Amino acid sequence: MIDFRYHLVSIVAVFLALTVGLVLGTTMLQDPLLNTLQSETADLRGQSEELRAERDDSEQLNIGADQFTDAVAADVLEDRLLDREVVLVAAPGADEEVVRSLGGRVEEAGGSVVGRLLFEEAFLDSGSATFVDELALQTAADPGDLSGNPYDKAGTALGHALAVPSEADTETEGAEGSEDAGGSEDSEGRDEERSDDSEDGAESRSQSEGDGDRDTGHDAAAVLSAFSEGGLLTVEGSPAESADTVVVVAPAANAPEEDQERVNTALTSFTAALHQQVGPTLLAGGADSGRPGGVIAQARAQERTHATVDVAGRPTGDVVAVLALADSLGGSGSPYGIGEGVVGFLPDPLPGPVETAETEADTDAEAAAGSGNDEARRKAPRSGE
């Protein structure tokens, strides 16, 4: 049997061990441990202060860069988009201030903002894809040409409605109109010769004239109205058949993770279709849009041929966006900004001003005058001769 003394000794041993542990912890181990913790805390505090100072310096530099950009923007952008007719397309969730600022920079570069398409949230709702698809098919100039997902089709239909008609389209419509007019005149001539049946002749002329006056062409304004009446977008200005350049403004924030793939695919498909129909196109957004999960990052991963910029939203970034758009006038666009896959922060070399026929004539005249002056200087006697 274990007696009471055994229990007493065990209890005393336990308390003695605790006492020894406390003494060692508060004497021999206290100073080294505290010194280590204090040193690490001081290092972390110093790093935090350095990072805070660097952040403040960066913010001041950004503010200064924006001020400098505002001061030189007029010279940097002058005539870079001369005589271009631009439509601004705001994706659902795009920052209105960014849309307005980009429009101002476009005009500063000599372009004209002929209209705006402001898309509603319903355009990208998961339940709206079927409606978007059907509406695109109903309003398209040639539904048989539409392919891809609903947003490929919507971009094609709307892009065709926005784009300035090509010379080939204009000549085709003019030829059709001439044929209709010629047919009408022949019909009228035949009807006049039929004096014995004047009433039938008058009726035939009326039908022929009606066929000639009937508009069988594509109604671009009706396409925009259909999407507007469907609650998918708001139209500002007169963008129908007016655009030769497009700026698409990405949402201010990335879509929720569960919807990112679907939303980004819709927007990148839509923008690419606009690019195919209209021509030079820029997809612009903030830094978030260029990071993984952003719409611009996905567009770059798919190697789209239109320009992209992921620094829009500040004066410097807006100027870069317009320069990127100007750079794309001569062909396919490139990615600019700070995200993965960019070719640089801005185009290098910078795109030059758009040259008009008058500018080219003046340049030739100046070259000819310069050549004449050089010849006169060569023939003029030098001092002392």
Top-confidence residue, 368 or 151:
151
Residue 121: CB atoms within 10 Å: 12
Q: Using one digit for the tens of pLDDT, what is the confidence trace for 11-39?
A: 888 888 888 777 666 665 556 767 787 78
Eight-state DSSP code of residue 333: -
Q: Are 162 and 239 in contact (CB under 8 A)?
A: yes
Q: Which band of pLDDT confidence, cut at 50, 70 and 90, is reported for residue 210? A: very low
Measured in whole angstroms, the distance separating CA 68 from the mean position of its chain's CA atoms is 24
Residue 118: strand pairing partners: 90, 234
Domain residue limits at 286: 78-169+215-351
**What integer pLDDT is reported at residue 291 of this predicted model?**
94
C-alpha to C-alpha distance for 247 and 295, rounded to whole angstroms: 15
The number of domains in the chain is: 1
Tell me the mean pLDDT in the region 127-154: 93
CA–CA separation, 117 vs 232, rounded Å?
A: 10
Based on the number of CB atoms within 10 Å of its own CB, is 325 exposed (0-12), middle (13-18) or buried (19 or more)?
buried
Nearest C-alpha neighbor of 162 from the set 124, 118, 119, 114: 114
**DSSP-H helix ranges across 128-219:** 129-139, 150-162, 167-193, 198-213
Within-domain flag for 49:
no
In this predicted structure, what is the pLDDT of residue 39? 84
Tell me phi and psi for residue 138, to 5 degrees: -70, -30
The pLDDT tens digits for 268-305 are 999 999 999 999 999 999 999 999 999 999 999 998 88
Retrieve residue 372's tokens: 């004449």
Give the global pTM. Answer: 0.74
Pull the structure tokens for residue 36. 């280590």
Q: What is the mean pLDDT of residues 314-325?
A: 96
Cα–Cα distance for residue pair 318/282, rounded to 1 Å: 12
39: tokens are 């040193």
Is the residue at 1 inside a domain? no
Please tell me which residue, 200 or 266, carries the higher pLDDT value: 266
User: In whole angstroms, what is the distance from residue 353 CA to residue 329 CA?
Assistant: 11
Assigned domain for 344 exists: yes
Residue 152 · residue 265 · CB < 8 Å: no
> Which residue, among 274, 348, 343, 265, has the nearest Cα to 308 in the 3D structure?
343
**Whole-angstrom Cα distance, residue 111 to residue 82?**
5
Task: Report d(CA 324, CA 334) in Å as an integer.
Answer: 7
Strands 85-90, 112-119: pairing is parallel
Q: Which residues is 344 bridged to in the sheet?
A: 336
Contact 126, 260 (CB under 8 A): no
pLDDT at 189: 46
Q: Compute the distance between CA of residue 153 and CA of residue 150 in angstroms, rounded to an integer.
A: 5
Note whether residue 18 is domain-resident: no
Helices (H) and strands (E) in the chain, counts: 13, 7
| Per-residue confidence (pLDDT) for residue 238, from 0 to 100 | 94
Tell me the CA end-to-end span of the chain in Å, nearest whole number: 139
Rounded Cα–Cα distance for residues 223 and 117 (Å): 12
Q: Worst-scoring range by mean pLDDT, 142-156, 169-183, 324-338?
A: 169-183
User: Is the pLDDT confidence value at 179 over 90?
Assistant: no
**Domain for residue 373, yes or no?**
no
Cβ atoms of residues 136 and 226 within 8 Å? no
- The string of DSSP letters for 252-290 reads SSPPPTTTHHHHHHHHHHHHHHHHHHHS-EEEE--HHHH
Question: For the segment 37-51, what is each residue's pLDDT rounded down to a tens digit?
Answer: 778 888 888 899 999
Residue 313 lies in a domain: yes
In angstroms, the CA 284 to CA 275 distance is 14
User: Does residue 261 lie in a domain region?
Assistant: yes
In a domain, 334, yes or no: yes
How many whole angstroms separate alpha carbon 128 and alpha carbon 147? 18
Burial class (CB in 10 A: 0-12, 13-18, 19+), 273: buried
Residue 161 has pLDDT above 90, yes or no: yes
pLDDT digit string, tens, across residues 251-269: 999 999 999 999 999 999 9
Q: Which residues pair with 117 in a beta bridge?
A: 89, 235
Return the half-sphere exposure (C-beta side, CA atoms, 13 A cut-off) of residue 288: 12
